[in-house]
Structure formats: structure tokens, C-alpha cells
Structure 1
């Protein structure tokens, strides 16, 4: 990690009625990252930044709330209207693997150089929702903005395990807690032959998806 520590990111969905369904899981994740990375943590400061941003945001509409947390316990938050999104969501496979053993892979921070390819592609091709990454052993990991799931022939949903090489999303954790999803290693062949595919993140929930060709 560089001497200037990256900020921690939490991106939350605020429903039109003002409810934040996954708030407790967001708080748990940012607190855990602070403990593991040696950042100062103060939940009240984080929540105050959240409430200030919401007080300046549009009302009676879903919101995208983004909170940045610094190693020195500083917080910045911004809330904007969240546009509707129609599914199924289109995905493509990355041409480069995720780096092996990077300690920041399992934390949501502003240091995300491995997603530069995805950022450029998604900006150029807005019809693509996400880019799905494999690791150096050709195991399915995650998307640049979502976790991924496959359904087997028996109807069971599976997602790759969080073993230090993917970001454990809060929507993913909610699905695991509810027993709707189980963890297992997923190969590229498993993904290509899956009965169905879904992705999830805190903003969009759990959505049907399909693989498409890498755009040119």
C-alpha cells in the first residue's frame, strides 16, 4: 500500500421512502476494513456524513449514496438520484486476470487499478453492466461493480468464496445469510454452462444477467 492510504468506499441504496435496507451490513464491512487496515473508525462520524448528504438530496426517489472514509476518520458523502435499470443485465469477460494476493482485493477502496480495463469499457459501452474477472487460475471471481452467481441444474445458486481474492459485497452477504446462495469455487466452464446467471450489488439488488461478446 502506498504511504497515502486509499479511502474506503461504501455505496448504499436509499429507497424512495428513505429506508436503507443494507445499512447494518455496510457499517459492519467498513468497520471490519478499518480494523484490518489500521484505519481509525468512528461510526457516529460516518453516520453524520450520511445524514448530511441525505438532507441535501432529492426526496421520494431512490438514491445512490456514496461515502468515502479516510484513515484519519474523515468522511465525505454524496447522494444522487438512482436511475432505473432494465434487465437482464449484460456482462462480458475481462481479458486480464485479477492480481494474485493483493491485500486490498477484499476491501472496497479508492485504490482499484486492476479495474481500469472495466472502467474504460463500461464508459465506452454503457449497454454493458459489468466486466467479470477471473483469477490467474481461471476461477471466476467477481465483476468490477458486482458479485456473480450461477444456478445449477438442481436450482441451487452458487457464488465464489471470499478468500482474500474478491470483494465480499453486502448484498452478497445478505443472500448468504438468507440461505438463498451458497459458496463454491466456480470455473470458467461452470460459468459458461450455467443454467442461469445473476449478479448483485447494494444499489441494484440481485439481478438476472447474461454473458455477451466482449465489445470492440
Structure 2
């Protein structure tokens, strides 16, 4: 295999690893689906990698043979008033490509989408599929508030990576799958309904279409 599996999570000295079990289950499911060797207990490797009294971004990479590498870097959560500028890129995801339903180092479409705009111009770039449906951002899932406050998020059939935060929000009945088009973002902006992007590391972040 010329790619590896990835899980990225947040660690704090107070609470440890956020959503650890959800990340572990996703890694195991992806390993099974893609024919990777099942990982050994990953918790010791993670615990050995963290220390200190500040939050960390923890990145776990697992090879086809089950070898685990863990790296960490300082992490600061955005404030509640943070609003990310987002744009829709021209890069397409294939809705029927099963590989992109797993978090791997094979990230060519996401890197291509991010490269479409200067880094200072946008915080996140959204990708669409061959049907013109919104899929996800380069590092986040997409959520659009409906008229009743439910968060709508593109379904698996649109061709997305089912994020850990997304799964939690659906399980908590705060979000549900729905096909979204670019026009839905315009309508949300016009009617004052909120748009979010988010992942397990960063949580939900308010977003607005950049001009």
C-alpha cells in the first residue's frame, strides 16, 4: 500500500484524548475495509507521546503493516466568535470512490482544492462531486442550519469522509444527512441561517462564504 491511515485528535491535560473511542473504532473499521493489519492497542503509544500542561494536536499514522507513529504539536482552540471564510473550489470528488470514505494520507483532491486560493484569502475550501453536490472541506465536514435549527450535513452518498464530530452530532440528533448544493449556502447566508465547518480536533466553527 502506498498510503497510510490517519487519526487526528485533541489532547488536554485535564480531559485526555477527546473522543478517543470514536477515533479508535474508525481506525479499526478502515483497517478492516482496506485490508490493513489490525492495529494493536494504540492507547499506550498515544499516552507515551503526550505530556505537559498545554493542549496538543495528536496525529496518529498507521502503515499497512500496522506500524504506529504518533506526533504532537501545540494546539489552541479558536474562540467562540471565530468565523472562517470559505469558498467552493472547482476540484471534484468522485462520489463512488470508497477510498475517500477513510482518512488516509492519499489527499490529492484536498490539496488541489486548497491550492486553488491563496492561504490568506480563505480558511477552508469546499469540494463538490460530479453531480454538483457539496461534499466537505479539505479538513472539515460541512453543516448548514435549517429553519428549525437542525444541522444538515452532506450524506455518505455524496462522497465524503464521515468525520468523528459529524457522527457524534448525528448520534445526538443535532445533525442529519441531506444532499446540499452551493445554492443552499447562498440561501443560508440570505436568510441568516448559520453555516459551520468542523472536525473532532477543532469542534464546530462558524463559516461564511468569502466574496
TM-score (norm 2): 0.90
How far has the Cα of 1:52 moved from its partner? 2.0
In 2: Cα distance, 1:118 partner to 1:16 partner: 35
Aligned equivalent of 2:110, options 115, 135, 142: 115
Provide the residue aligned with 2:177 in structure 1: 183
- Structure 2 match to 1:23: 20
- Once residues 95 and 159 of structure 2 are traced to their aligned partners in structure 1, the CA distance between those partners, rounded to angstroms, is 7
Q: What per-residue deviation string (whole Å, max 9, x for no partner) do you get for residues 1-27 of structure 1?
A: xxx331000000112424222111100
Work out the CA distance in 1 between the residues paired with 2:158 and 2:2.
19
Give 1:80 shift: 1.0
Superposed CA deviations along residues 129-180 of structure 1, whole A, max 9, x for unmatched, are 2111111111111001000010112222111111371000001111111111
Report the count of equivalent residues: 205
Give the equivalent residue in structure 2 for 1:74. Answer: 67
Given that 2:195 and 2:206 are in contact with CA atoms closer than 8 Å, whether structure 1 keeps it comes out as yes
Query: Is the Cα–Cα contact under 8 Å of residues 103 and 164 in structure 1 kept in the other structure?
Result: no
> How many Å separate the matches in 2 of 1:64 and 1:157?
26
Q: Report how far residue 101 of structure 1 moved.
A: 2.2
Segments of 5+ residues of structure 1 without an aligned counterpart are: none
Q: Is the 8 A contact 1:161 1:185 kept in 2?
A: yes
Matching of residues 158-197 of structure 1 within 5 Å: 158-163=152-157, 165-194=159-188, 195-197=193-195
- Structure 2 unaligned spans of 5+: none
Question: 2:97: which partner in 1?
Answer: 102
Q: CA RMSD in A?
A: 1.8
Query: Against the structure 1 CA distance between its residues 85 and 126, is the aligned structure 2 distance closer, same or farther, given a 3 Å change threshold?
Result: farther
